[in-house]
Structure 1
Amino acid sequence: MNGPTLHKTAADCAEELPGAQLEHPFGPDWEVYKVRGKVFMLMTEVPGRPVVILKADPDEADALREQYSHISPGYHMNKKHWITLEGGEDVDKELVRELVTDSYRLVVAHLPKAERPVDPNTYGTGTQPAR
């Protein structure tokens, strides 16, 4: 997947997430997606390379960095809790969508229950809560 496709895929996924909002708090070169005021995805270019910066579980982040050559520690973010994703041959739409959704769910899980737009334990996992 190339850089422009990476950004489009990530943005398309983020825009489908309940309560997600796009902001530009750092100027026009940074697209920042938030849910209830909390950042879950940033997109920009670092020396001409489009990147997507996402929140990740620390253990999963380590595993992702080992498995994918196009995933590195979070650019300008806490290296333990954030990852940077670049376009590359081992990056496909399913991986991008999964990582964006996981980042969103991690942020939603830390919101007060009354503010959560979805249940972070079931959203995007294919399982629905019992009614």
Structure 2
Amino acid sequence: MSPEELRTFCLSFNDAVEEFPFTPELSVFKVAGKVFALTALDSRPLTVNLKCDPDLAVQLRAAHPEIVPGWHMNKRHWNTVTADGALPERQLKELIEDSYDLVVAGLPRAQRLRLDRA
């Protein structure tokens, strides 16, 4: 997945926005003000931090060397995924979507309903 494809996919979700609260190089993708993905789109190899169910995170890390505990994040809830092609693009997209869904699930009911209608 290229950096532009990653950006486009992250922004394809309802109410998703890209912000740069830390540095101009670090893209932070949010929904309803909550982070679901972080990446330095110009880094090589391209990596992305994604929220993950803690039990699944452990399984993914054991099965895939390109998935490690989240860099500068809560290691229990976040993974850093290398997007260099070793992990199939379909699976990477599923991990991004799961991260978005986890964040949305934690939002207040009214916000979740608004996102469902968008």
- How big is the shift at 1:89? 4.5
Superposed CA deviations along residues 52-81 of structure 1, whole A, max 9, x for unmatched, are 000000001001101111000001000000
Residue 116 of structure 2 is aligned with which of 96, 115, 118? 118
SS of the residue 1:78 aligns to: coil
Question: What is residue 27 of structure 2 aligned with on the other side?
Answer: 31
Give structure 2 stretches of 5+ with no counterpart.
Answer: none
Counting aligned pairs with the same residue, the percent is: 40
- Further displaced range: 91-100 or 54-63: 91-100
- How big is the shift at 1:10? 2.6
SS of the residue 1:52 aligns to: strand
Whether 2:91 is the aligned partner of 1:95: answer yes
Task: State the Cα RMSD in Å.
Answer: 2.0
Query: Structure 2: how far apart are the matches of 1:35 and 1:53?
Result: 15
Question: What is residue 15 of structure 1 aligned with on the other side?
Answer: 11
SS of the residue 1:9 aligns to: helix
Query: Structure 1: how far apart are the matches of 2:56 and 2:4?
Result: 24
TM-score after normalising by structure 2: 0.88
* Deviation >6 Å, runs of 4+: none
Tell me the amino acid that sits aligned with residue 75 of structure 1.
W
1:10 touches 1:100 (CA, 8 Å); kept in 2? no
CA 1:80–1:112 in 2, change beyond 3 Å: closer, same or farther?
same
- How big is the shift at 1:92? 1.8
Give structure 1 stretches of 5+ with no counterpart.
Answer: 120-131
Whether 2:68 is the aligned partner of 1:75: answer no
TM-score after normalising by structure 1: 0.80
Kindly tell me the number of residue pairs found equivalent between the two proteins. 115
- How big is the shift at 1:48? 4.3
Tell me the amino acid that sits aligned with residue 69 of structure 1.
P
Residue 47 of structure 2 is aligned with which of 33, 36, 51? 51
